[in-house]
């Protein structure tokens, strides 16, 4: 998993409507139903997870919402950040 900075994960997302690739790792703390997405031009925006697919470790794409449901993507224990689950232990406890 790529590190944005220590303790924070990045996942590659694809906008379902436009196909634009972005990076994300955090929830919008002012509106927890949204995530913060980062663009290649160093800008960022807040958007709904339902608008994105996530690239899993095996290279496959899956709806971000389904990836959270399937525990392929998990929040950290403070619900500030999220990333790809790497172990069965993480999946079992439900957070990174």
pLDDT in tens, 43-59: 999 999 999 999 999 99
Does residue 15 lie within any of the structural domains?
A: yes
Note the pLDDT of residue 9: 67
Does residue 49 lie within any of the structural domains?
A: yes
Helix (H/G/I), strand (E/B), else coil: 4: strand
State which residues form the domain around 13: 9-93
Residue among 17, 96, 6, 2 at smallest CA distance from 53: 17
Does residue 3 lie within any of the structural domains?
A: no
Does residue 47 lie within any of the structural domains?
A: yes
Does residue 71 lie within any of the structural domains?
A: yes
Does residue 85 lie within any of the structural domains?
A: yes
Note the pLDDT of residue 31: 86
Note the pLDDT of residue 6: 46
Hey, what are 53's tokens?
């697919």
Does residue 65 lie within any of the structural domains?
A: yes
Hey, what are 77's tokens?
């224990």
Beta-carbon contacts of residue 86 (< 8 Å; ≥ 6 apart): 1, 57, 96
Number of domains the chain contains: 1
Which residue ranges of the chain lie beneath pLDDT 70?
1-9
Q: Alpha helix (H) ranges present in the chain?
A: 64-69, 88-93
Does residue 4 lie within any of the structural domains?
A: no
pTM (2 d.p.): 0.86
Note the pLDDT of residue 46: 95
Hey, what are 74's tokens?
């998990």
């Amino acid at each position: 998993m790529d590190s944005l900075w220590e303790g924070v994960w990045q996942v590659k997302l694809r906008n379902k409507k436009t196909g634009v690739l972005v990076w994300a790792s955090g929830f919008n703390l002012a509106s927890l139903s949204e995530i913060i997405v980062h663009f290649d031009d160093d800008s960022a925006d807040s958007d709904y997870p339902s608008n994105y697919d996530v690239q899993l470790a095996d290279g496959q794409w899956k709806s971000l919402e389904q990836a959270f449901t399937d525990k392929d993507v998990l929040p950290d224990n403070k619900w500030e950040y999220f990333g790809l689950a790497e172990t069965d232990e993480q999946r079992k406890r439900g957070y990174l």
